[in-house]
Structure 1
Amino acid sequence: MARAQVFGEVAELYDAARPGYADALVAEVLAYAALGGRAALEVGAGTGKASVPFAALGTPLVCVEPDSRMAEVLRRNTVRYPGVRVEHGGFEEWRSGGRRFGLLLAATSWHWVDPERRWDLAHDALVPGGAVALFWNPQGVRDAELHAALAEVDQRHGIVGAPHAEMASTYGDVPGNWAGVPGWPEEECRRDGRFTDLRAVRFRQERRYDTGRYLGYLASLSRYRVLPPDLREQVLAETARVLEAHGGGIDTEHFSDLFLARVR
C-alpha cells in the first residue's frame, strides 16, 4: 500500500486524534479567494479536518479523497452541509467534468500529490484568478528535557520526523521555516510562472496533548503506520513511559503555515 493511503487503516483514530486548523486561517483563505459563490475544490480531504470549518461558513466544496475508508468518515462529518460533495479517488486521476473552481485547497496533503503534475492539475481546475491555498500544521516541543527524552526513543528505533522531533524555537518566525524539512511550495510555484500574488502567513497556537491523545496522534501518522506492528507498539509504549514521567502529556507550539497564490 502507498504510504499516502495508510491512513485509512485508522480512519477513526485519525479523525479523533489529528489537530484541526485555526479559524483565523480559514478566514484568511476565504478573504483571499473572494469566492463570490463559486465552489472550492479540496485535494486529499481526509476525514474533513479542513472541510468542516470551510463548509460551516457556507463554502460549497468538492472534496477529493483517495482512500475509501477516509472518505466514509468524511461523508459522515459533512453530512449536515448540503454544499459538500465527496468524490473518491486520487487527484491525479480525478476528472472535473468541465467544472472550474474559485479555490483549490489542500490541508497537509499537497506533498502527496505527484510533483511532476500538481501545478498543471491545480491550474486546470481553477478559473482565471482562482486561488490556491496550501497549508500544514508543523509543531515543536516547548520542554527541552522532554524533547531530549523523546529523541532518545526515536533514535533507538530509527524514527525520523516525528511531531516532537524539533523544539518550537527552531521554527523561527517565517512561514515554511520547518527546521530544514523540505516541502514548502513557494519556490516551486514561483518557478511554474502561471500564478501570481504569492503570500505566506503563519498562525500560532499553544496546544497540550495528554498521553493518550498524543499516542493516538502518533499512531495516525504514516511514519508510524508503515512500521511493523510489534515495533510500532514498542515505540508507542516507550513514548508513553516518557510522557508519563514528564507530567502525563506534552506541551507544543502549534503552527499553521499557509501558502496562497492565484492563477494569472
Structure 2
Amino acid sequence: MPTIPSGNQEPQPHQHRQVAESFGADAERYDRTRPRYPEAMVSRIVAGSPGPEVLNVGCGTGIDGRQFQAAGCEVLGVDPDARMADFARRSGVQAEVATFEAWDPAGRRFDAVVAGQAWHWVDPVVGAAKAAQVLRPGGRLAAYWNAFDLPPDLAEEFTAISRRVMPDSPFDFRAMPSVDGYQKLIDKAADGIRKAGGFGDLEQWRFDWERSYTRDEWLDQMPTFGLLTRIPPDALAEVLAGTGAAVDAAGGSVVMRYFTMVVTAASAV
C-alpha cells in the first residue's frame, strides 16, 4: 500500500502557496494564453489507462481537462484556487476546490490521475500515495510540464529589462527551466512515486513541438508567469513595454521551442 509520511521536511515548491495560488488573479488571461499539451500525449495517456474516468489535479482553468474531454474522457478537476476552479466549471470541466493532499475523494475511483504544470505544487510523496489510493487497478498517474527554450538573444533582452525594473527580483529568462530544469521536477516526482509505493515501473515520455507568438500574444502571456503575477502593476507595465520593444526589434514575433515532459506509472494495487 502507498505510504503517507509525516514529520518535518525542507521547504519545497509545493509549500510556496502564495505562488501556487496566485495564478487565479487573472484566470481568463491564464486560460487564453497558456500553451496546450500535445494531442499525442493525451492520446497516449488515454490509451494506457483502463477506462475514461480522469482526475485532473491542479486543473486550473481546465486547459488539459478539456483536452481529455475531447478525447472521450469524463474529467473531474481539483484545484486549491476557487477562482481557477470556477473558470474550469464555466468552461465545462467539473471542479472541486481543495489542495490534492486535503481533497476528499469520498470513495470515488479513477482510471487516470493527471497533472499538467501542477505536480510540483503537490507534496510528491503524499500526492503519489493519494493517487495510488484513488486509482483503479492498472490506473495511470501522469504528471507533465511544458518546458521551453527562448531564443538566447531574446532571453538576454528580457532578463535585462526585468532586472532594470525589478533589481531585487530573481526573475531570469536565461535560467527559466528548459529540459534540464524540468528534469529536476521529473526526478522529484519520480522519487515521490517510488517512495509512496503502489505503482509499477516508471516511464518518462517527451514530446517536442514549436509555437510562434506574435508580439501581442507573447505580451499577453507574460503576466501569467509565476513571479510576474505578484509584482506591482506599474512595474509589470514597464516590463511589458520593454519586452514589446525587444520583440519588435527582433522582427515582431517569438518562436518558442516546447518540450512536453511526462513522468508516469500504472497503479499496481
Aligned to 1:14: 30
Separation in structure 2 between the aligned mates of residue 122 and residue 228 of structure 1, nearest angstrom: 38
Report the secondary structure of 1:55's partner residue: helix
Aligned to 2:180: 178
Aligned to 1:152: 160
> What are the Cα deviations for residues 107-149 of structure 1, in whole angstroms up to 9, with x where unaligned?
10111113452122212221232210111111102x3322322
Separation in structure 2 between the aligned mates of residue 180 and residue 46 of structure 1, nearest angstrom: 20
Q: Quick check: 2:125–2:195 contact (8 Å CA) kept in 1?
A: no
Aligned to 1:233: 237
Q: Does 1:76 align with 2:53?
A: no
Q: Quick check: 2:210–2:256 contact (8 Å CA) kept in 1?
A: yes
Separation in structure 1 between the aligned mates of residue 128 and residue 89 of structure 2, nearest angstrom: 27
Moved more, 252-261 or 108-117: 108-117
Separation in structure 2 between the aligned mates of residue 220 and residue 62 of structure 1, nearest angstrom: 24
Separation in structure 2 between the aligned mates of residue 202 and residue 113 of structure 1, nearest angstrom: 21
Q: From the two aligned structures, give the one with the greater helix fraction.
A: 2
Moved more, 147-156 or 242-251: 147-156
Q: Compared with structure 1, are the counterparts of its residues 230 and 182 closer, same or farther at alpha carbon in structure 2 (3 Å cutoff)?
A: farther
Q: What amino acid does structure 2 have at the position aligned with 1:144?
A: P
Q: What amino acid does structure 2 have at the position aligned with 1:120?
A: A
Q: Does 1:250 align with 2:254?
A: yes
> What are the Cα deviations for residues 190-242 of structure 1, in whole angstroms up to 9, with x where unaligned?
34332212111111111111121111211012210122322222222221221
Q: Quick check: 2:55–2:112 contact (8 Å CA) kept in 1?
A: yes
Unaligned runs of 5+ in 2: 1-16
Separation in structure 2 between the aligned mates of residue 123 and residue 152 of structure 1, nearest angstrom: 45
Q: What amino acid does structure 2 have at the position aligned with 1:12?
A: E
Q: What displacement does 1:159 show?
A: 4.8
Aligned to 1:104: 113
Separation in structure 2 between the aligned mates of residue 236 and residue 181 of structure 1, nearest angstrom: 29
Q: What amino acid does structure 2 have at the position aligned with 1:149?
A: E
Q: Quick check: 1:20–1:50 contact (8 Å CA) kept in 2?
A: yes
Q: What displacement does 1:45 show?
A: 0.6
Map 1:129-208 → 2, pairs under 5 A? 129-141=138-150, 143-156=151-164, 157=166, 158-160=168-170, 164-165=173-174, 177-179=179-181, 182-184=184-186, 185-208=189-212
Q: Quick check: 2:143–2:262 contact (8 Å CA) kept in 1?
A: yes
Partner of residue 3 from structure 1, selected from 19, 37, 47: 19
Separation in structure 1 between the aligned mates of residue 227 and residue 183 of structure 2, nearest angstrom: 15
Q: Quick check: 1:147–1:165 contact (8 Å CA) kept in 2?
A: yes
Report the secondary structure of 2:200's partner residue: strand
Separation in structure 2 between the aligned mates of residue 159 and residue 204 of structure 1, nearest angstrom: 30
Q: Compared with structure 1, are the counterparts of its residues 252 and 144 closer, same or farther at alpha carbon in structure 2 (3 Å cutoff)?
A: same
TM-score (norm 2): 0.84
Q: Does 1:24 align with 2:40?
A: yes
